[in-house]
Structure 1
Amino acid sequence: MEEYKEVFENESRRELEKIDITSLFVDFCQGLRKLWWLILVLTVVFAIRGYFATSTSYVSQYVAEATVSVTSSTGSSAEDMAQIFPYILSSGVLADVVAEDMGLTQIPGTVSAVADEGTNLLTISVTSSDPQVAYNTLQSVLKNYPEVAEFVVGKTKLTVLDETGIPSDTRREEVIRGSYKRGALKGAGFGFAILAFYVLTRRTVKSKKELKNQINLMDCGSIPYIQVKKRKKKTFNNSLCLLNERISQGYVEAIRKLRIKVMKDMEENQFKSIMITSSIPGEGKTTLAVNLAISIANQGKKVILIDCDMRNPSVAGVMNEQETHPGLGAVLKKETALNDALIRVETGKGSLEILYGGNNDEKNTKLLGTKRMEALIHTLKKQADLIILDTAPSGILADAAVLARYVDAALYVIRYDHTKMQQIREGIQSLVMSGIHLIGYTFNGDNQSRGRGYGYGYGYGYGYKRYSGYSRYGVKKESDSYRHYGNAPKGTQDQYGRIIKE
């Protein structure tokens, strides 16, 4: 019984989480910031569509009216006459008389009558698509109505007090104006319906609290959100790279804190190789891998960074490496010697060498699970203090799980408002099954801890079947281009970047 009660409470808690109004409102506002342009486009398109649809199909209706005073020998009021009028009209007698008077087979329009309450005034209206016909029909009705009504209410006299004359279409502008307003409302409504569907189905992770409750991994810290500035010309000065002197200091500090936690875990376990992966493309794992490698190298370490994502090699783009270098695939196929493929990057301290991914070739990914890859990692461990491998997303491809057999540890990248919890679980599970040591996760692009400074023109690729190359960045090789963050007190730093007082 207690077990069922616990299950029921858990289900109730999940339902409450699902209908968190505050969370939904925040999601709606964030979705609106992303899709406002779609709502605007739909509003304009539907408004234009409504305007042209109405203006091209609209048929003008002309209304000829006359206000008359009614005098009946039986003392019938105008209200009585207005009630009797439809009967007289529907009987067909008046219609036949008017049609015969106009030399037609039937009345070319509609006729109606409305009485002014408390008076003997009656307003007779004739509606037709032709203004002259509407006027002629009204005149015929006024002439023949007393003769026809005499058989019902006795002798009747109509005295015309006012009439419109030959009418004009005064409703055309009003109808057309209303058409594009209605179209705009329909477009906006359709747009908001799409927004609601987007918000309700795109339940992405937006806080570390969600991650803490759902996955059992150590929180290695947050990397702040940096506003993207798209620029036509990609240069070093708009690169999200620690070698860029204009990098946001908040971003530098976040990478430093991540480095401390990662290196502490690696050294405690005497590990020398770590892979950086994520659930899906676009979470910023490559940028993080590059900057983590630079940060560790600047602590006097010898670091080797390997681009193992051979379907979508992106490390060269982050480093803005314009030259073509032999990639990992060429080394594994023994087309190029390892020493020739390793490219040294000046970081100011320590040593950083990069084994780029080369040309994207899906066939090369089969080499990741071979003994050659295992031997390569074993060889590089002897040459460096730490090896960092940038791998394909573990949530959609098996590459990371295959490499995990040869790598000591893994760091998982989760991007703010980009990945669903189910995708995160699946990606982590694929790594856990391989038996690799998971250090923890880092929350990338955290909107709650925005880095201050100028924005950078970086972006991430999307797509699942053949996810395209991530945006290229600009970096030029400069010696001693990296600067330590902040005005640190005098002293030296230990391997974790902490200040040791003199």
Structure 2
Amino acid sequence: MKNEVREFRLDEISILCIIRDLLKNIWVILLAAAAGWFAVTGVMSFLYVPEFTAQATMAVSARGGSNAYSSLSLTNQMAGVFSEVFDSNVLKEKIAEELGEDSINETIQATVIEETNLITLQVTSENPRRAYQVIQSAIRNYDEVSDYLFSNAMLRIVQEPSVPYAPSNAMNSSRYQKLAILAGAVGSGGLIVLLSILRFTVKTREGAKRNLDGRILELIPYERKNKTVRGALRKLNKSILISSKLVSMPFGEAVRKTATRIDHHMRRRDQKVLMVTSVAENEGKSSVAANLALALAEKGRRVMLIDVDLKKPALYKVFEKKEENRKYLSDYLDKKAEIKDVLIYEKKEKIYTVFQEKSIHNAARYLDSMEMKALIDAGRKKMDYIILDTPPMSVSSDAELMLKMADNAVLIVRQDWTDVRAANDASDTIRQAGVDFTGFILNAFLKEQLWSSLREHSYYGYGRTDGSEEV
């Protein structure tokens, strides 16, 4: 395991992994946006104080029957004075006296309508009836106050005030709600992106080379299980085997190159038993083990594929070989069947298989038995290769038990799945057991760039593929 401080590099960031995390956590983003909306709505509702405005329109005219022009001129001249009078303490004291109170807190405002001799008088209060009472009192007492300031102008009511029925300061929270939704979505999305970037998993080939303690055998691209709309809707989840005509060329080529490298490595060292494992579940180790067996069989090798993941067997699902009368590994280990009964030659795939269907508790007792050793020894005599599909190393110790019987091991590392440190610890465990560790197989990797995919996987298959420099 690497102990040095992790160095952040841009080539370890996968845009597609980030997008996948965003889509997978879209519900978090939606919840954060909704939370922002509710928070703003709640706060504004708590802080909102409705105000009601009573309004009257008055015309300014000169005393003595002056013409409209003189009234308009007089209004413009006295505009400031009108406003000050209506907002004066003297008038407010008279209003308070009339209403039988010590003082009033309402806002009184007079505004001149431009190019006219009209004045709009407004009284704002938290109570609609209170606003009406104050504006009526202001109109009644205005003359008495204004006579002290000027006597050549008078006000005439054009529009009588009325009791306001709706607040004049309607709560306009729409803009703030939209901002809160945006902030919630962007904030949660940004946090998801940050966590995705900082998660110490293998996201790119460059990151794998830099952080994994071992050779990168090959990068196997992501392959969809359902190739048709019908299959996707019904979630048929067909197995991904290179023997299928529906499998894409990049996927098939990557698997075959991986098998070629393993074949070359093991033949030089006279090795026969290959253990295929992973750190965590759902990294695709069973599919990789099955496809490696098929690829080696295509090269003319005699291959035995054994499912030794007794707690969660999967190979019978991969090959869709669920047969009522078939004998399984547990039958042999329980001494209810012979090796010849459980070892089945699959004519279509041209490999020998030993499958397991039902989960077995206390699997370690079976795997560390003389029967299991006898099965492996028999395979060594008759087969070119024995491929063991073992349980994930972080789930149980069964994989470590099988290391005693293996010559070689490979670790399946799925893109953005397992912590790099856990993968390195697993490779150290394999080495410490005295087993030859060939390297890591990067599985289910999404292509970052179309041009890179076209370059690496040309029509004729001669393009360089991921990891080829590490043969």
> If the length of structure 1 is used for normalisation, what is the TM-score?
0.70
Equivalent residue for 2:33?
43
- Contact residue 307 and residue 390 of structure 1 kept, 8 A: yes
- Per the alignment, do residues 95 and 385 of structure 1 end up closer, same or farther by CA in structure 2, a change over 3 Å counting? farther
The answer for the alignment partner of 1:311 in structure 2 is: 311
Distance 2:310 2:450 in 1: 31
Q: Is the counterpart of residue 206 in structure 1 residue 206 in structure 2?
A: no
2:150 and 2:205 map into 1 onto residues whose CA distance is: 89
Match of 1:65 among 31, 55, 74: 55
Aligned to 1:408: 407
1:88 corresponds to 2:89:
yes
Secondary structure of 1:198's counterpart equals helix
Quick check: 1:431 aligned with 2:427?
no
Say if 1:290 and 1:382 are closer, same or farther in 2 by CA, change over 3 A: same
- Matches of 1:124 and 1:338, distance apart in 2: 104
Matched to 1:113, the amino acid is Q
Ranges in structure 2 where 5+ consecutive residues have no aligned partner: 62-76, 452-458, 462-471
CA distance in 2, matches of 1:189, 1:487: 45
Please give the alpha-carbon distance, in whole angstroms, between the structure 1 residues aligned to 2:84 and 2:328.
94
Q: Deviations over 1:420-456 (max 9, x none)?
A: 322221222222221210111221122238999xxxx
Contact map agreement 1:326 1:358 (CA 8 A) in 2: no
Question: In the aligned structure 2, how far is the partner of 1:161 from the partner of 1:22?
Answer: 76
Shift of 1:392: 1.6
Q: Deviations over 1:188-238 (max 9, x none)?
A: 2453254245324423212222222223422211212224546354669x4
Match of 1:465 in 2: none
Is the partner of 1:310 in helix, strand or coil? coil
- State which drifts further: 306-315 or 366-375: 366-375
Larger radius of gyration: 2
The one-letter amino acid paired with 1:318 is V
Distance in structure 2 (CA, Å) of the matches to 1:58 and 1:321: 69
Deviations 1:155-202 (A, max 9, x none): 997665667744453778763544643552354245325424532442
Say what the alpha-carbon RMSD is for the aligned residues: 4.4
CA pair 242-235 structure 1, distance change in 2 beyond 3 A: farther
Structure 1 CA distance for aligned equivalents of residues 200 and 372 of structure 2: 38
User: How far, CA to CA, are the matches of 2:260 and 2:435 in structure 1?
Assistant: 20
User: 1:262 maps to which residue?
Assistant: 262
Q: How does 1:269-280 map to 2 (within 5 A)?
A: 269-280=269-280
Counterpart residue identity of residue 356, structure 1: F
- State yes or no: 1:185 paired with 2:182: yes
Q: For residue 405 of structure 1, what is the amino acid of its counterpart?
A: K
Partner secondary structure for residue 243 of structure 2: coil
How far apart, in 2, do the equivalents of 1:373 and 1:160 lie? 108
1:362 alignment partner, SS class: coil
Residue among 134, 151, 171 paired with 1:137: 134
For the residues of structure 1 that align with 2:314 and 2:200, how far apart are their CA atoms? 28
Separation in structure 1 between the aligned mates of residue 159 and residue 113 of structure 2, nearest angstrom: 18
> What is the distance in 1 between the residues matched to 2:140 and 2:328?
99
Partner residue, 1:253: 253
Give secondary structure in 1 for the equivalent of 2:337: coil
* 3-state SS of paired residue (1:250): helix
Q: Quick check: 1:111 aligned with 2:101?
A: no
Secondary structure in 2 matching 1:394 = coil
**Counterpart residue type for residue 409 of structure 1:** N
Question: Does 2:318 correspond to 1:322?
Answer: no
Do the aligned partners of residues 167 and 356 (structure 1) sit closer, same or farther apart at CA in structure 2, a change above 3 Å counting? Answer: same
Residue pair 1:203, 1:420 contacting (<8 A) in 2 also: yes
Aligned pair in 2 of structure 1 residues 335, 169: CA closer, same or farther (>3 Å)?
farther
Deviation at 1:115, TM superposition (A): 5.8
Deviation at 1:253, TM superposition (A): 1.4
In the superposition, relative to structure 1, how do residues 24 and 312 fare at CA in structure 2: closer, same or farther (>3 Å)? Answer: closer
Percent identity between matched residues is: 24
What is the TM-score of this pair, normalised by structure 2? 0.74
- Distance in structure 2 (CA, Å) of the matches to 1:87 and 1:428: 87
Match of 1:392 in 2: 391
- Change in Cα spacing, 1:430 to 1:121, as seen in structure 2 (3 Å) is farther
- Whole-Å separation in 1 of the counterparts to 2:273 and 2:42: 66
8 Å Cα contact 1:273/1:387 also seen in 2:
yes
Instruction: Name the stretch that deviates more: 176-185 or 404-413.
Output: 176-185
Q: How does 1:333-344 map to 2 (within 5 A)?
A: 333-344=334-345
Shift of 1:132: 4.9
Partner Cα separation in structure 2 for residue 347 and residue 129 of structure 1:
86
